[in-house]
């Protein structure tokens, strides 16, 4: 192999649109880029995705002589890339709420089989971050829970299921993204904990995932001074990637980076410099997920670094050997038959098992009556890991009103005091109030609306957390609360069935309430 062919195996690029672009063809032909990452913007339908993946493999095989890894972030729940016409399983915290680790295996196998049938062969999931910081703006429901034991217990099934479904998977974001209040897509977070605390909390699920045979691990763009005090994030740290992960933790699989265009790298170090540092740290697959031509610049810089000795040639060859061995092993696994109708029925069953009754007032679950008022903001992009919101946004209150036979009104993400007062006044003519919150613990005016209606409307109030269940903890005792874990038409339908008495909410919170933490 030439130097560019070796380097191309270690790079992953993205591109805009639903067909091959001239820029993508150029970097594959010129720089032998060997791997692709897809986002929602690349996917219009199952048939289109299947054609696109076939075209990508044809292009990359012809130019590199090897299969491509075609990657996707199909975590389920809040982070999904497949369209609604496909099967999007519930997210991590939702699946853990079922109380049965078998659900994560079933969800993983279903996801793996569907992705493989579409031509995607590497799912960048699951997150094994422990969401021990409720103020975390980017993990939350993407985590199985707030203890290492919970995360390890449920992640094991997902890892096994995805592999049995025929795709590669990984554990992310090493050494752990759960205890940050900042988003590494936007800035450079720091987890400043002693090593012994990191061992007990952050590192424990990764050790368990390695023991469970996870084939890959993704690094985080976060500073961990107790692990490396040199001022570089984990992705760029040789002490963390080679010393800790490869050495102390004996991990022999693939190491991938998170996207090197995230501001944690781009703003503080520069993306191309970050790529070279990540390779030098021991990262096998380095992601440049959005700017196609940037992968060519990175490949050129890496080739120069390899020639000058700034990148170690023996380590380069060992890394490429790991990648090609994983590709060969993956290609030897035949794709299983995927029955979309059967998968949809199973997925609906899984989803309904996740709906969680968090608080029941002394008077019991309220009757919504014949004319409920349904309120809540539209779905919006909570962070750069989420999809760009479609022009036709989903509205929980509109969907819920249709299901319950009431009126639905979309409220702002942060309703003003005047708007809150107006809704209290207008609530007089309704039989009950159903409110959907979406990251209300980070947008407290949503919770102020709920409190005002509970205290002054005289009507039964029901609150549904459409993302993080932390929204539900500071509400008055009189409010009936449910955790749905995701903002979608299907979760809204499942919640409506609970409120109408058609289905029981059997889920249990996989995180501690403030009362439990105080004990």
Closest CA to 504 of 388, 398, 353: 353
Q: Is the peptide bond before 127 cis (omega within 30 degrees of 0)?
A: no
Active-site residue identified among 185, 221, 441, 443: 185
CB distance 41 to 352 below 8 Å: no
443 catalytic per annotation: no
Active-site residue identified among 73, 179, 228, 258: 258
Opening angle at CA 9, ends 4 and 11, nearest 5: 90
258 catalytic per annotation: yes
Using only the alpha carbons of the chain, give its radius of gyration.
23
Cβ partners under 8 Å of residue 236, min gap 6: 265, 269, 274, 277, 278, 281
Opening angle at CA 164, ends 162 and 165, nearest 5: 60
Q: Is 94 exposed, middle or buried (0-12, 13-18, 19+ CB in 10 A)?
A: buried
Closest CA to 504 of 98, 150, 100: 98
Listing from the earlier edge strand, what are the strands of the sheet with 480-483?
Answer: 356-359, 480-483, 461-465, 433-437, 373-376, 407-410
Alpha carbon distance 519, 513 (integer Å): 10
Alpha carbon distance 277, 260 (integer Å): 11
Closest CA to 470 of 413, 517, 416, 409: 517
Stated length of the chain: 519
Give the tokens for residue 445: 């005016």
User: How far, CA to CA in Å, does 89 sit from each of 103, 170, 332, 487, 510?
Assistant: 10, 17, 26, 13, 18
User: What's the half-sphere exposure (Cβ side, CA atoms, 13 Å) at 90?
Assistant: 33
Place of tokens 């996740």: 354
Alpha carbon distance 75, 107 (integer Å): 10
Known catalytic residues? Answer: 185, 258
């Amino acid at each position: 192999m030439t130097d560019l062919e070796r380097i191309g195996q270690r790079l992953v690029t993205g591109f805009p649109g639903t067909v091959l672009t001239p820029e993508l063809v150029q970097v594959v032909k010129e720089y032998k880029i060997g791997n692709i990452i897809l986002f929602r913007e690349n996917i219009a339908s199952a048939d289109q995705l299947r054609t696109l993946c076939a075209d990508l493999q044809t292009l990359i095989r012809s130019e590199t002589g090897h299969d491509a890894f075609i990657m996707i972030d199909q975590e389920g729940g809040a982070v999904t890339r497949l369209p609604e016409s496909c099967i999007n399983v519930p997210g991590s915290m939702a699946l853990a709420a079922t109380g049965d680790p078998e659900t994560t295996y079933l969800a993983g196998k279903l996801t793996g089989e569907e992705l493989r049938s579409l031509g995607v062969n590497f799912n960048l999931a699951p997150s094994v971050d422990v969401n021990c910081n409720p103020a975390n703006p980017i993990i939350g429901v993407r985590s199985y829970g707030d203890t290492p034991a919970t995360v390890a217990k449920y992640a094991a099934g997902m890892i096994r299921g995805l592999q049995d479904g025929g795709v590669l998977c990984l554990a992310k974001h090493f050494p752990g993204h759960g205890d940050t209040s900042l988003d590494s897509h936007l800035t450079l977070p720091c987890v400043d904990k002693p090593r012994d605390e990191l061992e007990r909390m952050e590192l424990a699920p990764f050790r368990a995932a390695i023991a469970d045979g996870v084939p890959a691990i993704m690094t985080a763009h976060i500073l961990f001074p107790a692990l490396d005090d040199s001022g570089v994030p984990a992705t760029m740290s040789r002490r963390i990637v080679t010393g800790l992960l490869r050495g102390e933790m004996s991990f022999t699989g693939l190491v991938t980076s998170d996207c090197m265009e995230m501001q944690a790298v781009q703003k503080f170090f520069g993306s191309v410099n970050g790529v070279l540092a990540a390779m030098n740290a021991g990262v096998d697959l380095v992601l440049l997920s959005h700017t196609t031509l940037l992968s060519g610049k990175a490949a050129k810089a890496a080739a120069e670094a390899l020639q000058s000795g700034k990148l170690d040639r023996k380590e380069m060859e060992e890394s490429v050997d790991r990648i090609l061995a994983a590709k060969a092993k993956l290609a030897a696994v035949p794709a299983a038959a995927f029955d979309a109708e059967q998968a949809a029925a199973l997925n609906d069953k899984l989803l309904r098992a996740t709906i969680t009754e968090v608080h029941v007032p002394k008077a019991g679950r309220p009757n919504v009556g014949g004319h409920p008022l349904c309120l809540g903001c539209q779905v919006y992009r909570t962070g750069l890991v989420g999809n760009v919101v479609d022009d036709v946004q989903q509205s929980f209150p509109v969907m819920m009103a249709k299901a319950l036979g009431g009126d639905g009104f979309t409220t702002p993400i942060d309703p003003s005091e005047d708007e809150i007062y107006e809704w209290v006044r207008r609530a007089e003519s309704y039989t009950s109030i159903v409110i959907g919150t979406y990251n209300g613990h980070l947008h407290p005016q949503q919770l102020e609306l709920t409190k005002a209606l509970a205290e002054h409307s005289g009507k039964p109030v029901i609150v549904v957390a459409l993302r993080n269940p932390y929204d539900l903890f500071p509400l008055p005792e009189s409010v009936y609360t449910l955790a749905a874990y995701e903002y979608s038409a299907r979760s809204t339908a499942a919640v409506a069935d609970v409120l109408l008495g058609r289905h029981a909410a059997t889920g249990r919170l996989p995180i501690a309430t403030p009362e439990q933490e105080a004990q």
